[in-house]
């Protein structure tokens, strides 16, 4: 019964997501053939917008299939019962942010061995549009689970909402690119250390950076919207620089 409700709820969610990604925006996908149709796998996208949480599984899953995509979510979201129920239905599971939550990391690796799991390797959304460094915790999950890892590139979701106007950027073209599974076998003989986990994460981010360069021609929107987004990024970087100067006493 629970599985039936999960599949029914997902079908309803797909209906509303269809409205946004097919009608409000113009969404395209590349590389779905690279996603394994059964068994465990890790989908590892860059993270530039809150919209990424929906568009990545939207293209990775078949709405008429019982295959699920699991994903970690910050534990605070589960404290509100209706939200927690929805997240459980969507196969999200709680993790602690900014803490070494080894239990959640081990559980994620265990789930990944048998299921499709989405994890943002940077750990959080980029505030300046640039790729961040991959987290060693993600590298450790890859090292422990040893499943196919699909480097994934999300393009233009940072243009969905116009900064300062809080308006949707209607008909913006959005893209999701699923890369070919990465071969991490070079790391399997290494010692299980934080340094190894970081190297695994760095290797993953290097491939996402390569994909970003390959598909940079798809990064586009109206010039005036791009200027607003870039101005928002500059304000963030200036804020960080001021905080760093204050911490250093400069």
Does the residue 95 lie in any domain?
Answer: yes
Cα separation, 131 vs 151, in Å, equals: 13
Cα separation, 243 vs 248, in Å, equals: 9
- Which of 66-75, 111-120, 156-165 is predicted least confidently? 66-75
Closest CA to 150 of 123, 181, 177: 181
Cα separation, 118 vs 152, in Å, equals: 10
Q: The domain that contains 131 carries what CATH number? A: 3.40.1130.10
> Domain range holding 89?
2-222
Q: H or E stretch including 225?
A: helix 223-248
Residue 182 sits at φ, ψ, to 5 deg, of: -85, 150
Give residue 155's pLDDT. Answer: 98
**Cβ-contact 150, 34 below 8 angstroms:** yes
As a whole number, mean pLDDT of residues 88-110 equals 76
Give residue 216's pLDDT. Answer: 96
Does the residue 227 lie in any domain?
Answer: no
Taking the CA atoms of 157, 238, 209 and 146 in sequence, report the sign of the dihedral they define. Answer: negative
Structure confidence at residue 73 as a pLDDT band (50, 70, 90): confident
Structure confidence at residue 89 as a pLDDT band (50, 70, 90): low
Give residue 22's pLDDT. Answer: 85
What angle, 0 to 180 degrees and rounded to 10, lies between the N-to-C axes of helices 136-145 and 194-214?
100
Does the residue 116 lie in any domain?
Answer: yes
**Cβ-contact 136, 194 below 8 angstroms:** yes
Cα separation, 26 vs 24, in Å, equals: 7
Does the residue 249 lie in any domain?
Answer: no
Quote the number of domains for the chain: 1
Does the residue 242 lie in any domain?
Answer: no
């Amino acid at each position: 019964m629970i599985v039936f409700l999960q599949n029914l709820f997902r079908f309803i969610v797909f209906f509303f997501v269809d409205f946004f990604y097919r009608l409000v925006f113009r969404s395209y996908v590349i590389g779905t053939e690279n996603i394994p149709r059964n068994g465990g796998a890790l989908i590892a996208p860059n993270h530039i917008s809150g919209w990424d949480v929906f568009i990545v599984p939207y293209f990775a899953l078949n709405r008429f299939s019982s295959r699920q995509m699991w994903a970690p979510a910050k534990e605070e979201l589960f404290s509100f019962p209706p939200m927690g129920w929805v997240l459980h239905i969507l196969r999200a599971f709680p993790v602690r942010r900014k803490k070494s939550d080894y239990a959640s990391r081990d559980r994620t690796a265990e789930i990944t061995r048998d299921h499709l799991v989405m994890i943002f390797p940077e750990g959080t959304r980029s505030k300046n549009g640039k790729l961040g460094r991959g987290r060693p915790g993600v590298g450790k999950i890859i090292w422990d689970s040893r499943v196919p890892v699909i480097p994934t590139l999300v393009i233009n979701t940072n243009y969905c909402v116009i900064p300062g106007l809080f308006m949707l950027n209607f008909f913006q073209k959005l893209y999701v690119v699923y890369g070919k599974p990465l071969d991490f076998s070079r790391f399997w003989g290494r010692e299980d250390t934080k340094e190894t986990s970081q190297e695994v994460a760095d290797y993953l981010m290097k491939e996402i950076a390569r994909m970003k360069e390959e598909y940079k021609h798809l990064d586009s929107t109206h010039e005036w919207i791009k200027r607003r987004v870039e101005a928002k990024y500059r304000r963030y970087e200036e804020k960080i620089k001021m905080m760093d100067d204050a911490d250093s006493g400069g």
